[in-house]
Amino acid sequence: MKIYFAGSIRGGRDDEELYLELIDYLRGFGMVLTEHVGEKEILEKERNLSDDQIYKKDMNWLKECDTVVAEVTTPSLGVGYEIGSAEALGKKILCLFREGAGRRLSAMISGNKNLIARTYKNTAQAKKAINDFFKGI
């Protein structure tokens, strides 16, 4: 199983530790193509790549993956684009949104019947949502 993990990079790095924990957990279900999303140095590493290179690399991974897991609490244009692209490619998609973050989940995610959107309050609940998602595919 090849998993594409999506999380905010340029939109804000407040959740990078959470991303790393979720990525570590996802490794139990398959290969995470986008492990770098959880790395603290991701912005520095991406400075060596052009936007075109990043776009092409990510789109190739989206085409290659079997499923997408997106943490969508921190709003990100890139994550939204990845979700839309994954949907167009017919990928199975799980979107995780942390309650109590002072934000509301976009209706474009919560209202989309082509993906699974789950809210959670702590990482244990997020991991349960991941378990349930992978049991269903």
Instruction: Express each pLDDT in 120-132 by its tens digit.
Output: 999 999 999 999 9
Q: Count CA atoms closer than 13 A to 93's CA, side-chain side.
A: 26
Query: Chain-wide mean pLDDT for the chain?
Result: 94
Distance CA 55, CA 17 (A): 24
Q: Region 109-137: what's the mean pLDDT?
A: 97
Q: Region 39-59: what's the mean pLDDT?
A: 89
Q: Region 104-130: what's the mean pLDDT?
A: 97
Distance CA 127, CA 56 (A): 30
CA nearest to 119, candidates 97, 101, 102: 97
List of E strands, the chain: 2-6, 31-32, 67-71, 92-98, 116-120
What pLDDT does residue 39 have?
Answer: 82
Please state which of the four CATH numbers 3.30.300.30, 3.50.50.60, 3.40.50.450, 3.40.50.1860 is assigned to the domain occupying 2-135: 3.40.50.450
Q: Region 87-109: what's the mean pLDDT?
A: 93
**Tokens read off for 122:** 């702590």
What pLDDT does residue 41 have?
Answer: 81
Distance CA 132, CA 134 (A): 6
Q: Region 76-97: what's the mean pLDDT?
A: 97
Q: Region 80-106: what's the mean pLDDT?
A: 94
Stretch (H or E) spanning 129: helix 123-135
> Would the pLDDT of 10 be above 90?
no
- Boundaries of every domain in the chain: 2-135
Which pLDDT band holds residue 101 (cuts at 50, 70, 90)? low
What pLDDT does residue 51 have?
Answer: 93
> Would the pLDDT of 13 be above 90?
no
What pLDDT does residue 102 have?
Answer: 79
